[in-house]
Each structure stands twice: as C-alpha cells, then as structure tokens.
Structure 1
Amino acid sequence: MPPPTGSAASADGTGALSRVAIIGAAETGSQLLEIEGYSHTREQLPTGCAVTLPPFSVGGHSWQLAYYPNNEIPDYADFITISVARLPEPEPGSAAAAAGGVRARVSLSLLDQAGDPVPSRTRTTTPIDFSCIAGVSFHDFINRAWLEQSEYLVDDRLTIRCDVVVTLEVRTEETPPMVTVPPPDLHQHLGALLAAKEGADVTFQVAGETFCAHRCVLAARSPVFKAELFGAMKEGTGAAVVRVDDMEADVFKALLHFVYTDTLDDCDCRDDSVKQQKEASMAQHLLVAADRYNLERLKLICEEKLLKHIDTDSVTAFLVLAEQHNCSGLKKACLQFLRSPTVLSDVMATDGFEHLARSCPSVLELIISVPTHAPVDLV
C-alpha cells in the first residue's frame, strides 16, 4: 500500500510557490494461519488454551498470533478467537528501536478456497498504540457453528490471514515545483538600459557632469519629470538638455538609479563609521531630491534610513529637514529623542540648535511646550 501523502503550496513575498509534501510512511506485513484438522484442534485443546505461531516482523517489530479454538470467556464460548501481540523488544538497530513507540492497524480475514478474504468475516482495527497495550484479541472472530456449516471449511481445513500495517513516521519533504518562475527582473533590464544609454533622448547637466536618460521612463515615475519633459520641451525633436541646479552629481546619479530600478545602491566603504556618515549624508540629500521630484517611496526610504542616525549631533538638522519637507515620522522620532532632559541640554549647547531656532521657531516652541517624557503628538 503506498504511503499517504498530502501537499501544500504556499506563496512567499515574491509570489513564488514552494511545494511541500506531508508523507506518512507505513509498512505492511502478513502471516497465514493454516489450520488442518480443525475438529481435532477443537477437541484436543482445553478451553482457554492457544496455539502460538512463530513471530513475524513488520515495521521493525516482532508480532505473534495465538489461535484459541475454545474461548474461555462465557460470552464468547461459541467463537474461535485470534489474538495478535507485539513482542516487547523491537529488532536491534531498527528505526523502531530508536523511536520507541509504535502505532499499527491489525486486520484478520477468513479466506475462501481461492485465497480471497471473506468480507463478512474480516475484522480491522483502528490504529492502536502498541506502546500502551501488549496486543489485541478478536474474541468473536468466527462463530464455530457458522463455520462448520459454511463452504469455507473444506476437508476439515481453513485458512486465516493476519495483516499488520505499522506507521513508521510522518515527515515533510519539499518537492520541486513543476514550473519554476524566476523572480521579477524588470529592474535589472531598466538598470542596464540606463547604463547603456541606448535610446536616451534627454541629457541632464548636474554640477559639471552629464547624465543621459529616457523621457518616457522618467515621466512614468515622476509627475515633475513628466511636466518638465513633456510640457515646455515636447515640441523639440532633438535630444533635450536639462540643467539641474542645487544638487550634487552623485545625488542625481542615485536618484536616476532609483527611478530605473526602484532600489538604492549600498555604500561600498569598508570603514563602518565612514560608511554610516556617508549613508546619513546621502539619505538627507536624496530625501530633498525625492521631495523635489515627488518620488514618495524614495522619500520614505530616506526618512526611514535617517531614523537610525538620530543623535545629539544630527537631531537638529533632521528636525529642520523634516519640517521643511513634511516628514512626520522623522519629526516625531526627533522630538521623542529630545524628551530626555539630559539629551535636550546637550543639544541646546550645539550650533545646530541655534539654526533650528532661526529656521523653525514653531518646532522650538513645540519642544519647549511639551512636558518631558510626554508622548509626542503632531496633530
């Protein structure tokens, strides 16, 4: 009998499917009990006495049948009884010996002359935990009077079959999917398009450097680019040249990279302290650029990055940035950081605090008016 299986397909964040099978392994074994001279066994064996068969192995355990032609229990005195027992010790070195317990299903069948089970004389148990009991008895297996009048007792001979199905283990197994869909790679293709400059129809001049790009890509990503490139310039037939002031070249390069790939390049600096400084500086400048070109996701990414760099030296600059570019999350985090009297005292001694007082007096009033350790409410 094949082991029962079940499968589950789950989707991860990329939409890919992983397929896992739940496999319940089992082992089946059988033993035939051929009784020749049935009437003699009934006459010779006293009530309650049994003939035990040689053990047989299933699932790493030894099993033994016992045949009782005369049941000693009054309610079953007219029946042939068969018992099936698991011998105490599993086979050395088997998986069953390592596992300890065992669950099994036992079936008894009277066979006809063709060797097939007689449906009306087949008994099957539910799965039994044989670590709790020694065995199971089929007290009312066959009524003797019925058997002696039936076609299944021929020449004083009958055959009984015992089947034991042992549950070995239940395990999970990852199975390869029939079709593997690769993750999205549109960002890679667009990034390659930007790097190759193939088909570029607009050039930007930024701090002495030039950058080539594609109007349709920029317009699809930014309403500001769309207005600039398909508004006043749409009549032009040649490559447009756009000058960008008040922005560093590396910031605009990072901005273009995000527009095409929806990702930011990691800083490749090996010195952790220098890397942290560069990341914080780039996040500030990119936030301003994202706000300028209405790239909301990039703006939020930069805002989230700056949350990790709030300290006494940076908090005032971040507050000014948050106030000027409507970054409520960054503003709330900075104000919460200033709730500590010690921190506030240290910050007030910096040059940045004076700049904050001049640039954003309303924020200064908020800092002073909110009691120390009180929750920050920007509403």
Structure 2
Amino acid sequence: MESAAEPAADASAERGEISRSRSVCETVKGSHRYTVKGYSLAKGMGAGKYMASDTFSVGGYEWAVYVYPDGKNPEDNSLYVSVFIALASDGTDVRALFELTLLDQSGKGKHKVHSHFDRALESGPYTLKYRGSMWGYKRFYRRTSLETSDYLKDDCLIMNCTVGVVRSRVETPRQFTISVPPPDMGNCLEGLLKSGIGSDIVFVVGDETFRAHKLILAARSPVFKAQFFGLIGNPDMDKIVVKDVEPPVFKAMLFYIYSDVLPDVHELTGSVSMATSTNMVQHLLAAADRYGLERLKLLCEAKLCEEVTADTVASTMALAEQHQCAHLKSVCLKFTAARENLGVVLQTEGFEHLEQACPSLLSDLLAIVAVVDDDPCPNRKRNISSNIGLNLLDGIDSTGRRMRRRL
C-alpha cells in the first residue's frame, strides 16, 4: 500500500514533489520433520495427553508439534488422532500460516496435506494470542483408518510441519545511493607485475627472465620471506637463477602470487589439450609446494581432481604421494580401482613409471581394489579384480625391486 502527504501540508508538495512509502507484508517460512517411532506403544496414554516434538525456530519464535494418540477431546472416545502446531515461546498476537503433511511411506507420493496457506486469501493468517496457543486438527485422522494405511509403516509416522510467520515492514525510497565497485587489489598488483614498475628482483628461469618485487613475494611465500629477509637471507640480492622449474610454470606461479587467482592454463600454454593442461597443473602444484603456497597447492589439487583420466591418473597419483596431497591421492586410488578403469590404467606408460617411482602406492591400490571387490552378492564371481590384485603384488618384490608383472 502507498501513502502520500497532502499537498497543502508540506512545502515540498507545493513544488510538485510527493513523498512515498510502502508497507510490505510477507511470510518467513520454516519447516520441521517430526517422526513418531513406536506409534502402537503411544496408544492408550489417554485423551488430552500428547507427545511433543523438539522446538524449532521460525520468524523469531519457537514452535513445537503436539500429537495426541488418543485424541485431544475425551468426547471423541479415542476414535481420532489429533495433531497441532503450538507457539512454544512468548509472543502476543503472532500471525502465522500453517501446513501439516502426513507422509505416504509407500513411495506413491499420496501424502495427506492440511494446508492453511491455500486458504490465506479467504480467512487470512491465524492469530496466536499467547505461549501455548495452537493451530491444528482435533480429528486429524481416524485411528482405525490410519493404522491400516500407508502412512503407518514399521510402527512409525512421519510428518512435515511448515510455519509461515507474517511480518510487515515499511519501505521508503533511499534518497542517496553510492555505487561501490568490487575489490580490485588483485588486478592492481597484476598490473604492477606486468609493468615491472618498482621491481627489485630478477628471476632467470631457463632462457626467460621475470621481474618482481621482493616485499610482495615475501608477504605471500614463507620461502621467499626467508630467502630475502630471514636470518641467513640476503635483502640486497637482485638476481636469482631458478632451476627445475619451467618458465611457463614460474610465470603462472608469479601470476597467482600477485592476483590470488589460478591462471588460465590453456591461455598460458596456448593449447586446449586436456593432457597439456593436466601436465601444466601438475608442475604448478610442485612449484606451489616448493615455495610454500598452500592455497595454490589446493587449487591445483582441485583442478587435477576434475581432470583425472586413465592416461593421467598414474602420474597424478605419484605427484600426490610425493607432495603429501592426501585427498588427491585418495581420488586417484578410487578412480584407478574402479572396475571400468583398472585394466586400462595398468596398461599405461604412466603406471609403469609409478611402479618404479612409488612402489608403496601399489599396496595402497591393492587395499582399495580389495574393498571394491568386496561384493555383497554371494553368487557374483570375484576373479577379475582379484587376479589383477595378484598381478599388482607380483610387480614388486620384498626389497622394492621391479619384477616381471604377469598380465
């Protein structure tokens, strides 16, 4: 609804200006699932006696569900089950809408729904005057019908209870608004890296050089901090030759240090190949571990989890073992042990390298294969994975030396 000031009552109206406001009525909804287990044992407790759910919060008030197995009113002679939703906290004239749903446990979806929401336009919300006020049904369901229905299964009843508390508020137009742009520190620092302004350190990586800023590197990496400003560090050094890291990988790492964003690997490599992307991220993870960039390491782990394939899983698994990436290792082991993947992975060059570089992983893989092979069906033949498991064991002797593997 809208209200407008009288023109003669306000000087602004004389200038043709009209003030505006709006009242908004809305519901704050919440639901609670209440289960009555052992329904038959609750019978006979007497009319007017109830079982109550735990309280649940909706719209700033506490609520509870009351179930009367023998009915709320003695005059009904225990012919009906009564169900109510009650206000369980202090409140005065709380206006709300309600819905009680008795769940069909046969899987047919024929739930019994009593909804006040559908009748809101006819009668409006129900008003609860005080703590303990209730809305519901004295004759929610005839007991004899309930006990032979699909709503009762394994001596258990399940109900969904929904409450919509009505609230009203007044909205007035904001006189002034200021648009604030999102943070762009990463973009600013990325620009600083690209321009080289104020750089005080040069990295020589292969046949490429990269200019950077020691203070920014030290703030982001504990390794660089110790190298430049630690007890045995040298704050005056102006050049570092980096070995065992490829230029594109070092460039990607610098991009992350300045922007806090995982770089677009396809853009850096100029390739859309998944294998190229995986290889790049694998090397970036190793660099992140080397320089103590834990978040970058996790970002690389997540990316490798998304890109795991039969061709790359062995090299990724070896990488995870080498750099203590427990979750990534687990993902690779489970992928490899899957029946549809195991035979293919065993034939890859990456797996042959894995046998030589990380023989301990074969024991971990065999343990996972054993779990996958533990089929609860007694009539299922269990020779495929078991034989592969024996082949894995034959691949390494007790001293860790490579042996001829039978396939």
TM-score (norm 2): 0.48
| 173 and 358 in structure 1: CA distance in 2 versus 1, 3 angstrom threshold | farther
CA drift at 1:339: 2.4
Given that 1:3 and 1:23 are in contact with CA atoms closer than 8 Å, whether structure 2 keeps it comes out as no
Q: Count residues with an aligned counterpart.
A: 218
1:268–1:360 Cα change, 3 Å: closer
Residue identity (%)? 41
Change (3 A) 1:3 1:329: farther
Aligned to 1:217: 216
Matching residue of 2:179? 180
The answer for the alignment partner of 2:112 in structure 1 is none
Q: Please state if 1:199 is matched with 2:198.
A: yes
Shift of 1:348: 1.3
Q: Using the TM superposition, give the Cα deviation of residue 290 of structure 1 relative to its aligned residue in structure 2, in angstroms.
A: 0.2
CA distance in 2 between partners of 1:205 and 1:22 (Å):
65
1:283 Cα deviation after fit? 0.9
What are the equivalent positions in structure 2 for 1:219-238 lying under 5 Å apart? 219-231=218-230, 232-234=232-234, 236=236
Specify the alignment match of 1:240 in structure 2: 238
Question: Whole-Å Cα distance in 2 between the matches of residues 214 and 335 of structure 1?
Answer: 40
Q: 1:24 to 1:363 in 2, by over 3 A?
A: same
Change (3 A) 1:220 1:24: closer
Looking at structure 2, the residues matched to 272 and 373 of structure 1 have their Cα atoms a distance apart, in angstroms, of: 40
TM-score (norm 1): 0.51
Q: Distance in 2 between matches of 1:246 and 1:283?
A: 15
| Structure 1 residue aligned with 2:296 | 298
Tell me which amino acid in the other structure corresponds to 2:327: G
Equivalences for 1:324-343 in 2 at 5 Å?
A: 324-343=322-341
Q: CA RMSD in A?
A: 3.6
Describe how 1:40-79 pairs up with structure 2 within 5 A.
none
Deviation for aligned residue 1:280: 1.4
- Counting only pairs closer than 5 Å after superposition, residues 120-159 of structure 1 correspond to structure 2 as none
Inter-CA distance 176–195: structure 2 relative to 1 (3 Å threshold): farther
Query: Could you tell me which residue of structure 2 aligns to residue 351 of structure 1?
Result: 349
Deviation, 1:279, is: 2.3
- Report if the CA contact (8 A) 2:310-2:345 is conserved: yes
Note closer, same or farther for the CA distance 1:132–1:254 as it changes in structure 2 (3 Å cut): closer
Q: Distance in 2 between matches of 1:174 and 1:255?
A: 48
296 and 337 in structure 1: CA distance in 2 versus 1, 3 angstrom threshold: same
The unaligned stretches of length 5 or more in structure 2 are 5-20, 26-118, 124-168, 375-407
Contact 1:283–1:302 (Cα < 8 Å) also in 2: yes
Q: Distance in 2 between matches of 1:273 and 1:193?
A: 27
Look at both structures and tell me which one has the larger radius of gyration over its CA atoms: 1
Partner deviation per Cα, 1:199-245 (whole Å, 9 max, x = no partner) = 11111000111111110000000000111122445353xx6100000
Provide the residue aligned with 1:261 in structure 2: 259
User: For residues 289 and 235 of structure 1, what CA distance do their matches in structure 2 show?
Assistant: 22
User: Cα gap change, 1:346/1:241 in structure 2, threshold over 3 Å: closer, same or farther?
Assistant: same
Unaligned runs of 5+ in 1: 5-20, 26-128, 134-169
> Within 2, Cα distance between the matches of 1:174 and 1:289?
53
Residues 218 and 225 of structure 2 are in contact (CA less than 8 Å); yes or no, is this contact kept in structure 1?
yes
Q: Is the 8 A contact 1:307 1:330 kept in 2?
A: yes
Whole-angstrom distance in 1 between the partners of 2:187 and 2:221: 19
Partners of 1:205 and 1:211 within 8 A in 2: yes
Q: How far apart in 2 are the matches of 1:369 and 1:260? A: 42
CA distance in 2, matches of 1:329, 1:182: 37
Secondary structure at the residue paired with 2:216? helix
One-letter code aligned to 1:2: E
TM-fit CA distance, 1:277: 2.9
Q: Which structure's relative contact order is higher, taking Cα pairs within 8 Å and 6+ residues apart? A: 1
> In structure 2, how many angstroms separate the alpha carbons of the residues matched to 1:201 and 1:299?
26
More strand by share: 1
Distance (whole Å) between structure 2 residues aligned to residue 285 and residue 279 of structure 1: 10
**Shift in Å, 1:372:** 4.1
**8 Å Cα contact 1:291-1:299 kept in structure 2:** yes
Partner of 1:316: helix, strand, or coil? helix
